[in-house]
Amino acid sequence: MRPYRNAAWWMMMPAAAVMAFVGVVPLVAVFNYALHDIFSLQDVHWVGVEWYEEIVTSTRFHASLGRSLLFSAVILAVQVPLGVGIALLLRGMGRGAVLILMLVALPLVVPWNMIGMMWLGLINPETGMVGQALAAAGIGFDWKFTALHTWILLVVMDTWHWLGLVVILAYAGLSGISGDFYRAAAIDGASRVAVFRHIELPRIAGPLGIVLLLRFVDSFMIYTEAFAINAGGPDMATHFLAIDLGEEIKGFSYGSAAARSMVYFLIVITVVWAFVRISGLSRQEERG
């Protein structure tokens, strides 16, 4: 029997050291800042968990948390089914699907800080294509003072930006399904719903899990787009968690901002852990 050698683990040490430097060290620093009231680098006062107590008992935090969770739920409910549906249509297009995939992937390369300005230009009723089309159709779209319209704009804008990710990953999973499965389903007389439920969905479950995690984390901490469109308005209707954090940073309240960052970090980590745990239990049940 050959002796066990752990030389491979030593080869991972450089990568682990880099990850510790760029991940763990900043996290520890932020945690330390969250326990202090920082006026300047020379004027730092210990406050313990005072910032945390103030944040988690604040009605404003609870309201922002509810908006952020609702926005993430809407984003996932729209983008995942739509992306899977488009991927299913592309699967039967042959080589023509490559062109469509390239088109839906183009928004992914647009810099995130340009998205808000682009869409503000598009919905401008005087110069924007979308704004002029809505005006010609007699549709009033007031994203500045109507909360529903602001939400619609944010959902459409985020979907335009990230739908390509869902389509590409779902299409990749579908492309790996052998044609034998479809032929066997046709012989058995399986319906289209049954084919999707028992053949296609299990094959794309892994990619969809990645999509769900990535899109939840990104949409849950949306900041740039929401701030660029209406700065959290109208009347706090799009005032998400990240906008609260941005206001504290701009107000130089670094201790409170650090505590708020740690609270957000714990929320995201808890959701990710729960998702991984549930996914693991589901796989165990399928194997059992």
Closest CA to 167 of 103, 104, 108, 106: 104
- Torsion over CA: 237, 243, 46, 263 (sign): positive
In which residue are the tokens 């849950």 written?
A: 220
Between CA 225 and CA 213 the distance in angstroms is 20
Q: How many residues does the chain have?
A: 288
Between CA 77 and CA 81 the distance in angstroms is 7
Digit-coded pLDDT (tens) for 88-109: 999 878 778 888 999 999 999 9
**Six-digit token pair at 257?**
């901002």
Between CA 104 and CA 90 the distance in angstroms is 12
**Six-digit token pair at 222?**
């949306």
Q: Which pTM does this prediction carry?
A: 0.89
Between CA 196 and CA 84 the distance in angstroms is 11
- What topology does CATH give the domain 49-287? MetI-like fold (1.10.3720)
Domains of the chain by residue range: 49-287
- Torsion over CA: 277, 283, 286, 288 (sign): negative
- Amino acid 163: pLDDT: 95
Mean pLDDT of the chain: 89
Between CA 89 and CA 97 the distance in angstroms is 9
Digit-coded pLDDT (tens) for 126-181: 889 999 999 899 888 998 999 999 999 999 999 999 999 999 999 988 988 888 88
Between CA 38 and CA 251 the distance in angstroms is 12
Phi, psi of 43 (to 5 degrees): -125, 85
